[in-house]
């Protein structure tokens, strides 16, 4: 796989990629911010075996949707899904220490990957060919049928697949784990602002061409579900320490703090399979939206 990727990287580096004047300008990839600047987004490459394998490993780590990688490749190529890696900013204090802790837990992710995506939103893109260590990923999806179902404007874009390594702690490691949608996300990330920074970036990128979003939407498991004794016990086990209800902030609450409003609920929103027992569990979800323009 590595030899194949090296050859592909060499071909890319020799190309003089010129954007056809008839094509829509490739969307921006970062939104400068003095406050939310500790992570950066880099497009996922659907044509890279290494990118696909790393995404698979991260999906296995969060126990959701590792079987959808091939489907996502198609959607990204069709411009129906915008997929980004999340990386720590180069000037983030303590970056090397945090990356080392991530690798210690996930040794299969010890190798940096290369920015090789040559398209974004069906537009040509010149990859930087720089190496980086992804600590997570996030995506934008188009769901026109959902927009109709929930009476949302067709300029609504959905945030999906937010995942950040559970082993990239901040200086406050005592905080417990929570879940974003059905993706693991440590409360320490809230303290460090990694999740909020990724949300800021993705929300503002969505307002730019070609998406021109006016509203963001997403779904996640409900506060009621996440505050049950069974759920707290499960995540206490995952975190290696007891999580008290008073110290826990649900996904729903986390999104509400960012300006999202609940618009609908589904008591049978997700079906999750416990990777240890193989037992299926039905999880209720809440749909939320936020007007950004």
The CATH number of whichever domain residue 59 belongs to comes to 3.40.630
Residue 208 forms part of a structural domain: yes
Question: How many domains is the chain partitioned into structurally?
Answer: 1
According to DSSP, the β-strands at 156-164 and 215-221 are: parallel
Check: CB of residue 36 under 8 Å from CB of residue 193. yes
Can you give the pLDDT at residue 245? 77
Structure confidence by residue, pLDDT tens digits, 88-116 = 999 888 888 888 888 887 888 899 999 99
Residues near 287 by beta carbon (within 8 Å), at least 6 away in sequence: 150, 217, 218, 219, 262, 263, 264, 265, 266
Check: CB of residue 284 under 8 Å from CB of residue 231. no
- What is the three-class DSSP state of 214? coil
Can you give the pLDDT at residue 14? 47
Residue 14 forms part of a structural domain: no
The distance in angstroms from the start CA to the end CA of the chain is 44
Looking up tokens 């930087």 gives 128
- Cα dist from 14 to 107, 117, 262, whole Å: 32, 14, 49
Give the CA angle between residues 61, 218, 119 to the nearest 5°.
70
Check: CB of residue 85 under 8 Å from CB of residue 132. yes
Residue 118 forms part of a structural domain: yes
Residues 140-172: b if buried by 16+ CB within 10 A, e if exposed: bbbbeebbeeeebeeebbbbbbbbbbbbbbbee
- Whole-angstrom Cα distance, residue 128 to residue 182? 32
Residue 285 forms part of a structural domain: no
Q: Before 170, cis peptide (omega within 30)? A: no
Residues near 189 by beta carbon (within 8 Å), at least 6 away in sequence: 164, 168, 170, 195
Check: CB of residue 160 under 8 Å from CB of residue 141. yes
Task: For residue 36, give its domain range.
Answer: 2-9+32-218
Check: CB of residue 124 under 8 Å from CB of residue 26. yes
What are the structure tokens assigned to 8, written together? 């592909």
- Whole-angstrom Cα distance, residue 179 to residue 177? 7
Can you give the pLDDT at residue 89? 92
Can you give the pLDDT at residue 170? 40
Residue 103 forms part of a structural domain: yes
Kindly provide the residue ranges of all beta strands, DSSP E only, lying in the chain, ordered along the sequence.
Answer: 39-43, 81-88, 113-114, 119-120, 123-124, 131-132, 134-141, 156-164, 177-180, 183-186, 215-221, 261-273, 280-291
Residue 91 forms part of a structural domain: yes
Can you give the pLDDT at residue 3? 67
Residue 131 forms part of a structural domain: yes
Residue 104 forms part of a structural domain: yes
pTM for the predicted model, two decimal places: 0.82
Distance of CA 119 to the CA centre of its chain: 19
Q: Which residues of the chain have pLDDT under 70?
A: 2-27, 166-192, 238-239
């Amino acid at each position: 796989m590595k030899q194949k990727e090296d050859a592909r990287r060499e071909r890319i580096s020799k190309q003089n990629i010129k954007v056809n004047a008839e094509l829509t300008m490739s969307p921006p990839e970062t939104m400068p911010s003095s406050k939310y600047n500790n992570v950066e987004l880099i497009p996922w490459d659907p044509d890279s075996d290494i990118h696909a394998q790393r995404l698979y490993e991260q999906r296995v780590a969060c126990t959701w949707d590792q079987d959808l990688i091939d489907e996502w490749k198609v959607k990204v190529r069709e411009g129906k899904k915008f997929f980004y890696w999340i990386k720590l900013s180069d000037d983030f204090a303590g970056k090397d220490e945090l990356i080392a802790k991530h690798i210690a837990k996930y040794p299969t992710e010890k190798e940096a990957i290369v920015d090789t995506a040559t398209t974004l939103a069906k537009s040509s893109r010149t990859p930087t060919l720089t190496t980086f260590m992804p600590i997570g990923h996030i995506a934008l999806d188009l769901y026109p049928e959902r927009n109709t179902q929930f009476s949302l404007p067709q300029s609504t874009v959905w945030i999906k697949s937010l995942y950040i390594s559970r082993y990239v702690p901040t200086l406050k490691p005592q905080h417990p784990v929570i879940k974003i949608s059905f993706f693991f996300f440590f409360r320490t990330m809230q303290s460090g602002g990694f999740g909020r920074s990724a949300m800021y970036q993705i929300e503002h990128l969505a307002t730019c061409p070609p998406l021109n979003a006016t509203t963001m939407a997403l779904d996640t498991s409900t506060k009621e579900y996440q505050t049950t004794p069974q759920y707290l016990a499960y995540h206490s086990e995952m975190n290696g320490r007891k999580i008290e209800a008073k110290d826990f902030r649900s996904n729903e609450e986390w999104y509400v703090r960012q300006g999202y409003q609940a618009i609908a609920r589904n008591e049978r929103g997700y079906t999750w399979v416990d990777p240890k027992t193989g037992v299926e569990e039905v999880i209720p979800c809440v749909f939320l939206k936020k007007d950004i323009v």
